Amino acid sequence: SDLPLILGIESSCDETGVALVRGCELLGDSVASSVDQHVRFGGVVPEVASRAHLEAMTPTVRRALDNAGVKLSDVDAIAVTAGPGLAGALLVGVSAAKAYSMALGKPLYGVNHLVGHVAVDQLEHGPLPKPSIALLVSGGHTSLLLVNDLATDVVSLGDTVDDAAGEAYDKVARLLELPYPGGPPIDQAAQRGNPKTIRFPRGKWGDGTYDFSFSGLKTAVARHVEDADRQGEPLVVADIAAAFQESVVDVLTRKAVDACVEHGVSTLVISGGVAANSALRALAAQRCQEAGIELRVPRPRLCTDNGAMIAALGAEVVAAGLPPSALDLATDTSLPV
Ligand code: KG4
Ligand code: ZN
């Protein structure tokens, strides 16, 4: 193929991800995670993450090249996450990308992590219809995006005003004494529970915006746990998990579908670690079908942070003919879309 070979590098949080992409084809990738080193802290420790990126970067690039069956000298351009993310973590990826760019004499493109979460879907389902709506739900973000063009025109419709969706899962898991990261154990517990036994609040429900709020929900769960403790009642973890999860996925899917309807968009992409959630997938599928919307959810490995999302977006940026970043490309912890 004569499409350029893109090397993508991701290091915004706790995953060191590297991938090789041509157009919409993922040739090979590798991800090293420092999640095990954060478990005892119940959340990502930035300094620990940065150090882990530094140690993992070169071997991860090597593994990705091996998986793709290509050589470093075959690479035509390097794409790297410039933000948003953790400052020290981003710096490791951007520094590595600059070094590869300089050593190979190939252009460097700093790209947006959030848009990468959307672009990655093209590796699984092919070119994204324009426009599309994207719901990004992970430990670090909860964003609703109007994607007119991946490379040049993405509009933020709403965001969380407090905790990210995955962060809410992680905090509630802690309250319920479930392990970190909290999403998978809550997802599993909820499947054995009855969501109708407790009614938790729906943050920013029907407020006329596409923003989200999960801290009130978390507080409501905390209060429920305290009350049960005080009254010496056993905690019905499965029911609490189910009721909490129903509140989260109800608001997420309702606002995402509303955004599609308001903007006349017939494709919804859901990505980010929380997209692995079984209840979110089921309710989104049901509501999208009712509204005549095509739902795209990349496979879990592509939903969580990885290098493929950055390489996929890099391919779009190169194809759009955008100018490369300068070698003094700066990281931006709160880079807008
Ligand atoms: O995308 P990701 O791997 O990393 C970033 O935060 O960027 O997302 C991790 C988040 C964690 O908060 C985790 O609890 C959540 O995704 N998560 C889930 C599920 N699997 C992972 N949340 C709900 N249900 C799941 N099945
Ligand atoms: Zn992410």
185 lines ligand 1 (CB under 6 A): no
Supply the pLDDT for residue 82.
98
Residues 263 and 143 in one domain: yes
181 CB near ligand 1 (under 6 Å)? yes
Residues 93 and 141 in one domain: no
Task: Write down the pLDDT at residue 240.
Answer: 98
Q: Give Cα 65 distance to the centre of its chain.
A: 24
Point out the residues of the chain with pLDDT beneath 70. Answer: 1
Range of the domain at 257: 130-300
Q: Are residues 81 and 172 in the same domain?
A: no
Same structural domain, 177 and 275: yes
Rounded to 10 deg, the angle between the 237-262 and 278-291 helix axes is 30
Residues 272, 313 share a domain: no
The predicted complex's ipTM stands at: 0.98
Write down the pTM of the prediction: 0.95
Residue 253 lies in a domain: yes
Tell me if 313 is assigned to a ligand binding site. Answer: no
- pLDDT attached to residue 114: 97
**CATH number, domain with residue 24:** 3.30.420.40
| 168/52 Cα distance (integer angstroms) | 25
pLDDT, tens digit (0-9, with 9 covering 90-100), for 220-234: 999 999 999 999 999
Q: 312, 314, 258, 283: which is closest to 144 by C-alpha? A: 258
- φ/ψ of 33, rounded to 5, equals -110, 140
Q: Does some domain include residue 25?
A: yes
CA of 272 to the centre of ligand 2 (A): 6
Helix 87-104, helix 46-68: angle, nearest 10:
30
Mean pLDDT across the chain: 96
In this structure, the answer to whether residues 315 and 295 fall within a common structural domain is no
In angstroms, what is the span from residue 306 Cα to ligand 1's centroid? 13
Q: Are residues 191 and 207 in the same domain?
A: yes
Q: How many domains does the chain have?
A: 2
Q: 337 lies in a domain?
A: no
Residues 157 and 286 in one domain: yes
Statement to judge: residues 313 and 262 lie in one domain = no
Q: Looking at the structure, do residues 141 and 230 belong to the same domain, yes or no?
A: yes
Position 27 scores a pLDDT of 98
The beta strands (E) that lie in the chain are given as: 6-10, 15-22, 25-33, 77-83, 108-112, 132-137, 142-149, 153-159, 267-271, 294-296
42 CB less than 6 Å from ligand 1? Answer: no
Determine the Cα–Cα distance for residues 204 and 73; give it in Å rounded to an integer.
Answer: 51
